[in-house]
Structure 1
Amino acid sequence: MDYKPLPCLSDGSYPSGVKEDWLARMDIIKTDLQWFLQLPYHRFWSQIVYQADCMDMINSFLVDAPPFYIVDEFRHDKEIWDIYFEIYKLVFCVLKRLGTHYESENNFMSPELLGDLLYKNYILTIPTLLDMCLLYGRDCQSDVADIISTIFTVQPAYFDDLQATVAFIIKTLKFVEWKFGNSTDAVQHGDVIKLSSVIHRGALDVAQFRDLVIHVLDTAATLSIFLGISQPACEVFHHQLFELRLVKFYENTIPEMYMQLEKLVNKEDTQPLYVDLKHKLDITRVEFLNTFRHILGHCLNCSIEDKPSLSEMERKKRVEDYMSVLTECLSEKVFMRDYHKYFPVDVDLELLSMVSQENGKIDGVTGVQLDSLITEVQDILPHLGEGFIQKCLEYYNYSSESVIHALLESSLASSLADLDQSLPRIPLEAESKLDLLNSAERSNVFDNDEFDIMTRDYVDTTRIHKGKRVGKHKDLASMLNDKTHVTELGEKFKQLGLIDVYEDEYDDTYDHVDISVDEACEPE
């Protein structure tokens, strides 16, 4: 039995008997789903593959169940909400089981077989995955991400279907643009269309306008959740330049939709509808901005987070893709104003600059290559010494253009400005011999100790004292009278139990015996 939405009147009430009939239907669906989930693994998959109406009920719920932006209407009636939420959970349990190839030691199948069953029998399709994201992506994000990741992994053919889906979504956006009179390419050359639809394409009534608003919101929310969950999907959308198509739609159609809202709905008798549609348009804008961010951020994240796994050429291509898309969008003022407000562009550019500087850092240049760089600078500024030019090249990461620019603009760093510009260059062999000679001349017993500044960059200056150090005792008498060390030792021995305290109390144990001391000392 398929799921059907609960019909209601314009004032939110339900016709007589409709609620009771809907609750009875939901109770039957609930019972069927509970029985379905209790089946053993092999019988569950037999029902899915050989009984098509099993998935019909699941698909009908994914299509017709209220999404997050209108589900609150169900919460006003506890009886309706309770039965709906039960079915909501049971359907998701079925979807999770469909994405699982291993349940136990006795119940499993190979990932390849799972991919073939799902794809070749049309059990899960790209539209089904998109509907699942819209319905469950916010409440069960990690579980939905696992299902989608598993499906794309076990069956790569889904990526081909996703490419066709992207083309279809672009076509639907063009149609909406065309309905608002902002597109001239919504229909292809040679397509047969009604002349009346061209003449009256901009004449919308309130019902048509409401349907278009909900359609655009549904598309924006679905894409935002789906692309936020699946990074491989972002790559597919970026490959077809979907983000540029999205920007043009946002720039041209969203403002027109607000204008139509004011014109058609902003009236005294339709104020509740006006507030509701305006709120939905605001959500649409945010979801489209998130969608663009997910696609463009994929290029940025690949350049930063996946840096070790990417080659220099691949990283460069990612950065170029990011800059190309961003440059293309600069002319779209409405979109860029909103996007920069929620996702500041300067923060992304700063991250990219840091990555570029780190990637472009050169450890060192020697030999013929260094000679060539010095010659490039001397061709423009022949009066400079080779040693000075070498120091400048080391500072500017061996970029001769940067060195020449800094010299001509008199913008050298302070550490370079203080150097002698006629400084000669010391050959590498002579420099190494000089270092060896200096190290031999200064050999002594204090080499490599904690105060050797020739081998250490940091020396603890608090341990260095010049002149006579004044101790804590002013003279010999104060030093002899200082007994603090005795107290310290006493406390330490007391803790160790080594102090034998002398007991000077008189011992009268043998006083009753009448023996003198001398007699006690005589030998027997």
Structure 2
Amino acid sequence: MALPTFENDNKLPLNELLITLDEDGVKRTVPALHEKWKDPRCFTRYTPLHVYNGCLLEEGSAGFDQWLSEAGWFIKDMESLLELEHYRFWSTMVYNRGAIEAVISFTQSAVPCYLVGVIRSSAAIFPVYSAVLRSTLQVVCRLITQRESDRCWIGREFLGDLLYKHYLISVPLLFDLLSTYGRENKTALTQMLHTVFKLQPKYRNDLKTGLQFLQKTFNTIHQQLETDRLDGHTASTATLQDLAIYSLDCSTVLALLVELYPECRQMCTELGMEPSISAFYDNSVTVLYKNIHSVDNDSPYLGFLNAARVELLSAFRAIVNLQLERVLDNPADSLLPADKLLCILTECLSDAIFVRDYQLRYPVERDIDILKQACRNVDTFKMDFVQNAYCADEAENGLTNGHSDTVPEDDESFGEAAGGVLEEEISKVADHSSTELKLTAEQQAEVDIQKVLDVLPHLGDGYVRKILSRYDNVEQAIAAVLEGNLPPDLAEADPTEPYIPADKLDTLFLETGIERLNVFDGDEFDVLVHDEIKGVMKKGKGMPGQAKNLKEMLDDKSHIREMKDRYQEYTNICDEYDDEYDDSFDAMAESESRAKVRLTPAMRNALVDELEDEDEEDEQETEERSSLAMAKKPLDFCENPELVRQRYEEKRQSKFQARHGGQVSAASGGATGKDVVGKAKGQGQDKSVLMNRKHKGENKASRANHNRKQGATFKRNKGMIPS
């Protein structure tokens, strides 16, 4: 397909530009950003160039030739992207996913900036790798370029949405670019970071998530080392080397990020990155250094860890500088940032190695002098405490490592000095004679005995104690035993004699002349030793002042006497009773009960049925009540529930029998009357059911035409029908 000539005489942005396409004589317009304009080629992915222990692939090997070939194809693909016209470049990057995946494959597999020196040593690899670096960076820079010329440009908001929506630029990609290009390309990386976050503010939230990931990475490395320590074994050499490279990579990314994009320092402060850095420096990097040093004291990974320490200190300093800048920019309102700085430095005091190295690299007294001059309202006690804590640690431990009295200015010399200090720490840990605690005479004797038993475990504790009492130190005692040059009494003694400590009861017998075998001998409750003892002496059962037996306890009415005054208050209540009021109330109730209610003939006829039923029920209840009253015992506290249920059941049965007659039918669900329901349809019916149905059909109108009179009477009594 022949591509049309690109014309943009109106100088429209890419998102508004339309291109005219002539297909077989038919002209139509297509947006400039369209899948039709993409480059359909299959882009080559970058093959990593592995660096093992500072060594590259050997020239002439199969792997070396394969890398050169694939790297050449990769360079051609990147250069083809750069040669595409503006609208075709963006159509390819958006609609051909292989293009951006090729770029990401290089940034994820590139040699980090701190290992580039190994590549420079190879005359065959370095030129090709440099071309890969250059072409990839140019493609990324073109992605964030808003205007290439007057006719080739794209709207700012549209460009930001395009980069973010299609994942052309992401925070992980930026982190990889920082690790790959490093400080040698600071200018390009700084412009790139500021442009990306300016084009699309949504990247700020992603950046905060990325910083949280770095923070979690520090914790993960520490947990890995702590798990190995608790399990009682050291990780393999390969694992330690991987952790060392990973630590350096994360430290480099963080240090470059806060240096090249200072706006992210506020995010670091909000996330509490400063304590995380100091804890990782003190608990993880130093432990890694010691473990690798114990395996190979000439390992190149020790230098990587020293570089990681420099990067961590640099990142910490850049974050802390945010508070100093705020103090200097606005001294009138510098109290909060000054307090924040002091709090950060105080919180890091628990990490002794970090504090010592930070004081070596960035003396704290300079920051304290700035605070004293710029902010006079800061608590001087806090400033003096921080300054004394950092400076005292420097004076006690000697940070210069014995090489120089001046602080090294460059990162490389500082890394060597820090590594020398850490090696001295390792040697101090290995030396048992350093920093011993002050022990008592008995504790020191136990330590000496244990040292002898470590060499001569077949000897007894008592025998070793006798030998040590004759010699000045442990070495002389061990030499005398091994040479057989012991005094005659020790040579004839039992070598397996155990040590039996002196009994306290024997000492007490010598002091008091009383010989007893009791757990309370000589203590504060011993009545035979002390005239005045602590506590209450109990003799016999119970405690002093309590009842001796049950009868005495029941006869004790002291609690009633104690409540006498309380009861006396209830007698003061005035209890008045009006007899005349009670008589008048009874007379009024009696007169109301005797009042006659006159009923009209219609009402009298309507209530005949109900009155008859109520009279029958009242009579039955009266009889049952009288019978139960005769049977009820006079001393019953409450009526037997079984009798209550029986009475109500009999009442219910009699009520149904009086109204309907007959027996209770199971088919009717417990209701009284003849069974007219029968079995289910289609199963046949009994003769009795058929007879009951016939009887019901013949006599259903015997009661006032289906009980209409009774229903009308009920409604009239309830006021639903006017009478």
TM-score under structure 2 length normalisation: 0.44
Shift of 1:335: 0.6
Tell me what 1:170 maps to: 215
CA contact (8 A) 1:179 1:202 kept: no
**Aligned with residue 85 of structure 1, among 130, 134, 150:** 130
CA shift digits 1:206-253 (9 cap, x unpaired):
011100000001101111111110111111111101111111111112
Q: Percent identity?
A: 28
Partners of 1:166 and 1:140 in 2: how far apart? 22
Cα root mean square deviation, aligned: 2.2
Match for 1:215: what amino acid?
Y
**Aligned with residue 251 of structure 1, among 275, 282, 292:** 282
Tell me what 1:349 maps to: 368
**Aligned with residue 307 of structure 1, among 330, 355, 358:** 330
Shift of 1:294: 1.1
Shift of 1:354: 2.1
**Aligned with residue 142 of structure 2, among 66, 91, 97:** 97
Residue pairs, 1:76-475, within 5 angstroms: 76-181=121-226, 200=231, 203-266=234-297, 271=298, 274=299, 276-304=300-328, 306-307=329-330, 312-313=332-333, 315-357=334-376
CA shift in 2, pair 1:13/1:130, >3 Å = closer
Shift of 1:97: 1.2
CA shift digits 1:434-461 (9 cap, x unpaired):
xxxxxxxxxxxxxxxxxxxxxxxxxxxx
Partners of 1:287 and 1:198 in 2: how far apart? 26
CA shift in 2, pair 1:325/1:63, >3 Å = same
Match for 1:352: what amino acid?
L
SS in 2 for 1:66: coil
Shift of 1:9: 7.2
Equivalent residues, number: 333
Which runs of 5 or more structure 1 residues have no equivalent in the other structure?
183-196, 361-524
Shift of 1:177: 0.5
CA contact (8 A) 2:234 2:291 kept: no
Partners of 1:251 and 1:118 in 2: how far apart? 40
SS in 2 for 1:138: helix
Partners of 1:232 and 1:327 in 2: how far apart? 24
SS in 2 for 1:248: helix
Shift of 1:343: 0.9
CA shift in 2, pair 1:330/1:198, >3 Å = closer
| Greater Cα shift, 122-131 or 249-258 | 249-258
SS in 1 for 2:113: coil
CA shift digits 1:245-280 (9 cap, x unpaired):
1111111122211220122223xxxx4xx1x01111
Tell me what 1:521 maps to: none
CA shift in 2, pair 1:3/1:202, >3 Å = farther
Tell me what 1:400 maps to: none
CA shift in 2, pair 1:123/1:202, >3 Å = farther
Shift of 1:20: 1.3
Partners of 2:265 and 2:373 in 1: how far apart? 24
CA contact (8 A) 1:180 1:201 kept: no
Shift of 1:198: 9.7
Tell me what 1:377 maps to: none
Partners of 1:33 and 1:137 in 2: how far apart? 21
Shift of 1:135: 1.8
Partners of 1:9 and 1:284 in 2: how far apart? 19
Partners of 2:343 and 2:51 in 1: how far apart? 49
SS in 2 for 1:78: coil
CA contact (8 A) 1:101 1:114 kept: yes
Match for 1:25: what amino acid?
E
Partners of 2:295 and 2:190 in 1: how far apart? 40
Match for 2:48: what amino acid?
P
Shift of 1:283: 0.4
Partners of 2:52 and 2:197 in 1: how far apart? 42
| Greater Cα shift, 247-256 or 227-236 | 247-256
Partners of 1:178 and 1:135 in 2: how far apart? 27
CA shift in 2, pair 1:290/1:117, >3 Å = same
CA contact (8 A) 1:126 1:158 kept: yes
Partners of 2:339 and 2:125 in 1: how far apart? 53
Residue pairs, 1:36-115, within 5 angstroms: 36-115=81-160
CA shift in 2, pair 1:200/1:40, >3 Å = farther
TM-score under structure 1 length normalisation: 0.60
Partners of 2:197 and 2:305 in 1: how far apart? 32
Shift of 1:19: 1.2
CA contact (8 A) 1:217 1:281 kept: yes
CA contact (8 A) 2:211 2:268 kept: yes
CA contact (8 A) 1:296 1:322 kept: yes
Match for 1:265: what amino acid?
D
Match for 1:105: what amino acid?
D
Which structure is higher in RCO with an 8 Å CA cutoff and minimum separation 6?
Answer: 1
Shift of 1:77: 2.0
Shift of 1:134: 1.8
Partners of 1:29 and 1:324 in 2: how far apart? 51
Partners of 1:74 and 1:52 in 2: how far apart? 30
Shift of 1:132: 1.0
Shift of 1:152: 0.9
Partners of 1:45 and 1:139 in 2: how far apart? 29
Partners of 1:43 and 1:299 in 2: how far apart? 47
Partners of 2:94 and 2:57 in 1: how far apart? 40
Partners of 2:225 and 2:349 in 1: how far apart? 24
Partners of 2:348 and 2:51 in 1: how far apart? 44
CA contact (8 A) 2:46 2:102 kept: yes
Match for 1:261: what amino acid?
I
Which runs of 5 or more structure 2 residues have no equivalent in the other structure?
1-43, 379-723
CA shift digits 1:359-397 (9 cap, x unpaired):
99xxxxxxxxxxxxxxxxxxxxxxxxxxxxxxxxxxxxx
Partners of 2:262 and 2:233 in 1: how far apart? 37
CA shift in 2, pair 1:128/1:150, >3 Å = same
Partners of 1:321 and 1:252 in 2: how far apart? 24
Shift of 1:4: 1.5
CA contact (8 A) 1:148 1:230 kept: yes
SS in 2 for 1:253: helix
